[in-house]
Amino acid sequence: MMGAIINIGAEIGSGTMIDMNAVLGARASVGNNCHIGAGAVLAGVLEPPSAKPVVIEDNVMIGANAVVLEGINVGKGAVVAAGSIVTKDVPAGRVVAGIPARIIKNIEDLDKDKNKLLDDLRK
């Protein structure tokens, strides 16, 4: 099984799962209890230091093969659908999908059992 690529300066919070072939760019910051899907890319560069890093807040799910461009903030509890390309900040509690990603629904509309399943997997 292939591993993930975690570049220098990237930070990963506790309870976060990083699937195979995911790439975390330099200085990318991933919060607690997140799930970064297989083949997902969180863009980022180490230089210049003024470049804004990708920030993934707590309890975020990034689907397989999604791309989050440099400088993007994904808010707490958000979901990025598989294959999406995120070009703008994602507010907390929103679900985004598409190329470019756009808001398709609020997280409250999703089945809460999905969150319970993720919690059980982390135990």
Task: Read off the pLDDT of residues 59-102 as tens digits, 9 standing for 90 and up.
Answer: 999 999 999 999 999 999 999 999 999 999 999 999 999 999 99
Q: Residue holding tokens 């591993």? A: 3
d(CA 61, CA 2): 20
* Domain containing residue 93: CATH number: 2.160.10.10
Give the global pTM: 0.86
d(CA 99, CA 84): 6
Task: Read off the pLDDT of residues 32-45 as tens digits, 9 standing for 90 and up.
Answer: 999 999 999 999 88
| Domains contained in the chain, number | 1
Q: 98-120 in b/e burial notation, b at 16+ Cβ within 10 A?
A: eeebeeeeebeeeeeeeeeebee
CA angle 59, 79, 31 (to 5 degrees): 30
- Run of H or E including 118: helix 112-122
Retrieve residue 87's tokens.
């070009």
